[in-house]
Structure 1
Amino acid sequence: MTEFTRRQIVTTGVVAATGLTAAIATGELTAASPKSTESSASTLGNRFTNKVILITGATSGIGKVTAKAFAQEGGKVFFCGRRANLGQQVESEIRDSGGEATYLQADVRNAEQVKAFVEGCVAKYGRLDVAFNNAGIDYPPDAIADTDIAAFDDLMNTNARGVFLGMKYEIPHLLKTKGAIINNASIGGHRAFPNIVGYGASKAAVIHMTKMAAQEYGKDIRVNVIAPGGVDTPMWERVQKDWGVTEEQLVSSYPMKRVAQPEEIAKAVIWLASGAASYVSGMRFDIDGGGLG
């Protein structure tokens, strides 16, 4: 990568787009807020009592924190991920803290596994009220002509096809409960950044599918999408390494001058899933700390 490209990336905030998720959604924290802890993701404590929440990709990062937050709010959480050891660990942590959760290993790229995952949730808990299609991956940056085809296909299959499969099998159950879907995209899905063609294209597809689903099922299901910038997760650490930049450089273009914490993203997801957002559907929510989108 040339010095010009790296400097351009830092000044425009492009790297933040590959970090998946970002800053303030609810206005509860300010730019000077210290890093929060996982236990702070809960707010009221009972908004999802007797509700069933399905989450993809909840073995780490945003998915993990959001699963814990829903459980702290009284929800019964059914989640998947490819790494069984991490999934079982998250399940144990939620149960040890008094919450209800079940992990099932599944790969969102595989239609049969996604169908079994959704049906397993309903078999276990009897219903489905909220689906957070969160699973996603990234790859090291490259210009379009240098992008590996297999990497591009994997991004599309995981980030875009995975969300499509999730909604395909979730919607029949959510129609019965008049539930809600929240999909996880990125600011990179609606703002063009160099060197992330597969990531950006896959997240653009998520945004478009969300709007289509809201049009098709708006009478019975609320469907929204979050489009975050950078979040302090394992993916954020990989981004710094892959792009050869520091966190200080990455957040230099953020108006809030800091990276988001995953707890802040969880609060946004919980709000969108709650009755407080009862007339909100078909919307893209940029969570980028003040204006990267």
Structure 2
Amino acid sequence: MTSQVVLITGALAGIGRATAFAFARDHASLVVSGRNKDTGQALAAELRDLGTQAEFIQADVRHEDEVRALVDQTVTRFGRLDVAVNNAGTEGRIGPLVEQTIENYTATFDTNVLGVLLSLKHQLRIMLPQGHGNIVNVSSVAGSVGFPGAAVYVASKHAVEGLTRSAALEAAKSGVRVNAIAPGPIVTAMLDRFTGGSEAGKSFMTSLVPAGRLGNVEEVAQAILFLASDKAPFITGQSLAIDGGTLAG
């Protein structure tokens, strides 16, 4: 990844943060983005301590003007955009379908679907004329199966899978690849919220994984690095599950 310019949305915690450090260890130049300025600036400083170039740019992926500015500022700062990781996402309000609200639908889809759509739009705007680039969208195993109590979240991740495949087909002849990763249960703050922070909830999630354990953010980050690297030149339009065998059953 030496000299690669990498943009990561939703970079301030969990999978996004781990991915930023993984790219930094491979000497990429980084733009990390999120909504919290103080946390983002602290993250960029930590990345620079590893000897890489890193900048924080505040942006909310739900707003096109902010996404456009994020991509343009990345190119202004580093001259190009080689890799984009679209990680910004939310689990929304978990609960039975009959209790779901328009407000929860809008909040979840605006981040998980509109955010990915806008990010793809403006990343491809730069990458297609370049004739090269790699985009990795962070989906979920919930993008392939149903999950009781999480219908809105599941629907949003199915949409991310569709956006990934469609964008990949549009970009395939240009030299730009678009893929997704689909994590299973991963130890993150989002999982804590999803399970209510209870040990019983975590035990239930673990029981769904044939490997018998929860995944960790470093394992997901390494999968992202692989898809974005020259070791995967013929892979596009795919969703790589990092799930301990969850989708195999």
Provide TM-score, normalisation by structure 2.
0.95
Q: In structure 1, what is the Cα distance between the partners aligned to 2:176 and 2:43?
A: 28
In the other structure, the counterpart of 1:157 is: 110
Deviation at 1:287, TM superposition (A): 1.3
Does 1:259 pair with 2:214? Answer: yes
Q: Which amino acid aligns with 2:156?
A: S
Q: 1:127: how far off?
A: 0.4
Separation in structure 2 between the aligned mates of residue 143 and residue 57 of structure 1, nearest angstrom: 27
- Runs (4 or more) in structure 1 with deviation over 6 Å come to none
The answer to which structure, 1 or 2, has the higher relative contact order (CA under 8 A, 6+ apart) is 1
Say whether residues 1:284 and 2:233 are aligned partners.
Answer: no
TM-score (norm 1): 0.81
Percent of pairs with identical residues: 39
Correspondent of 1:186 among 124, 137, 140: 140
Residue number in structure 2 paired with 1:107: 60
Q: Distance in 2 between matches of 1:227 and 1:57?
A: 16
> SS at the partner of 1:241?
coil
Change (3 A) 1:144 1:242: farther
Which structure 1 segments of 5+ residues have no match? 1-47
CA–CA separation in structure 1 for the residues paired with 2:11 and 2:145: 26
Aligned equivalent of 2:196: 241
Partner of 1:96: 49
Quote the residue 2:125 is aligned against. 172
Aligned-residue offset at 1:253:
2.3
1:152-211 Cα offsets, whole Å, 9 max, x none, are 111000000000000100002112051111001111111011221211111111100110
Uncovered stretches (5+) of structure 2, i.e. residues with no partner: none
Residue 83, structure 1, aligned to residue 36, structure 2: yes
Supply the distance in 1 between the matched residues of 2:104 and 2:229 (Cα, whole angstroms): 36
Deviation at 1:88, TM superposition (A): 1.0
Is 127-136 or 231-240 further displaced after alignment?
Answer: 231-240
Q: Deviations over 1:107-137 (max 9, x none)?
A: 0001000000000100000000011111001
* Aligned equivalents of 2:118, 2:73: Cα separation in 1: 15
Aligned to 1:250: 205
1:220-239 matched pairs, under 5 angstroms: 220-239=175-194
Residue 117 of structure 1 is matched in structure 2 by: 70
Aligned length: 246
